[in-house]
Amino acid sequence: MSEPPTLHRGNVAAVIPALNEALRIREVVEGALAHCDLVIVVDDGSDDDTAAIVSSLPVVLVRHPRRMGKGQALRDGFAEALRRGMAAAVTLDGDGQHRASDIPRLVAAANAHPRNIVNGARLKKRSTQPWYRRIGNDFGDWGIAWACGFRLVDSQSGQRLYPAPVLALDGVPGEGFVFEAQVLISAARRLGYGVVSVPVETRYATAGSDEQFRKSHFRLFRDLWRITSHVFRQVLAQGHVVREYRRTRARPPVVFDPHASTVPGAHAP
C-alpha cells in the first residue's frame, strides 16, 4: 500500500455546505481561502442571497435547484473535490461557527496520522455550547463509537478533514446529520480508518456578545432520534453486540494536541 501524499493548501479543498447563510457566508469563505487554494461551496437550494454573495468570490459554486439536505450537499462537494484531483477535503459549516484558522491544525494532524479522519472536536470554551447540543453530542459519541469500534470525541462536529479514499466511498446511506455519522462508521468498517480529534473552539451566540449567528439547523429530539435509530441499526447489523461494545470501550479516543492534554483518558500519541 502506497503512502498517502503529504497534505497542504494546494491539495486540500475546503467544502462548505450552505443553506440560507447570507449572514456570514462571505466571512466563512474568505477565511477558508486564506488556507485552501480551492474552496467549494454547495448551495443547497437557498432562498436568500447566499449564492449571489458566493458568486462574487473566487470559489467553485455548486447549486442545488431545491433543498436536498446536508448529506447530498457533502456528497456533491466531495465529488467535486475528487474531480479536481484533491487529496483531501476539510468541511466547514456556512454559519460562521467554525474558525477557518484551525484548518492548518487539522492538516497537520492528518499528516501526522495518515489513514484517519480528522475531527475538529469542540472542546475549547465548551461551556459556551448550548446545553442541548452538549447532551446530543455526548449521547451521539457513545453510540457512534460503538458502531465504529473505537471511542471518539465530538462525533457531531461539522469541521472535519476527510482523506480522498473517504471522499470516494460510495453508497454511504443517510441524510442530514445522519450522513455525517454514517461516514465515520463506513470509513471505519470499510476502510479501517480511525478518527483523530483536534481540539477547536466553536462560536455560538452568547449573552453580551455582538456576534450574530443564524438559528441552528440541528433539532435536538428530531435529529438525535434519527441519528440514534440509524446508528443502533448499524450496531445490530454488525452482530456480536456485547463483544463489540467491550472492544470499543477498551480503545480510547485519539486527540492530536501537541501543546496540551485536553481530554482525560484520551490517547495523545
- Say yes or no to pLDDT of 145 above 80: yes
pLDDT the model gives residue 143? 85
* Radius of gyration over every alpha carbon of the chain, rounded to an integer in angstroms: 18
Collapsed DSSP state (helix, strand, coil) of residue 168: coil
Mean of the pLDDT values across residues 131-155?
79
- Say yes or no to pLDDT of 115 above 90: yes
Instruction: Give this prediction's pTM.
Output: 0.85
Looking at 33-47, 99-113, 126-140, 202-216, which range is the least confident one?
202-216
- Say yes or no to pLDDT of 96 above 70: yes
- pLDDT-derived band of residue 202, with 50, 70 and 90 as boundaries? confident
Q: Measure the CA–CA gap between 59 and 33, rounded to whole angstroms.
A: 8
pLDDT the model gives residue 267? 58
Q: Measure the CA–CA gap between 113 and 165, rounded to whole angstroms.
A: 15
Pairing of strands 88-91, 12-18: parallel
| Mean pLDDT rounded to a whole number for the chain | 86
- Say yes or no to pLDDT of 228 above 80: no
For the stretch 8-39, pLDDT in tens is 999 999 999 999 999 999 999 999 999 999 99
- pLDDT-derived band of residue 220, with 50, 70 and 90 as boundaries? low
Q: Give percent of the chain above pLDDT 90.
A: 59
DSSP 8-state symbol, 84: T
Residue, of 241 and 264, whose pLDDT is higher: 241
- Say yes or no to pLDDT of 73 above 80: yes
64 beta partners: 44
Mean of the pLDDT values across residues 162-188?
92
For the stretch 40-57, pLDDT in tens is 999 999 999 999 999 999
Q: By C-alpha distance, which of 40, 49, 145, 149 is closest to 90?
A: 40
The residue extents of the domains of the chain are 12-255
Mean of the pLDDT values across residues 106-131?
83
What is the homologous superfamily of the domain 12-255 according to CATH? Spore Coat Polysaccharide Biosynthesis Protein SpsA; Chain A (3.90.550.10)
163 beta partners: 88
Mean of the pLDDT values across residues 205-215?
53
- H or E element that contains 150: none
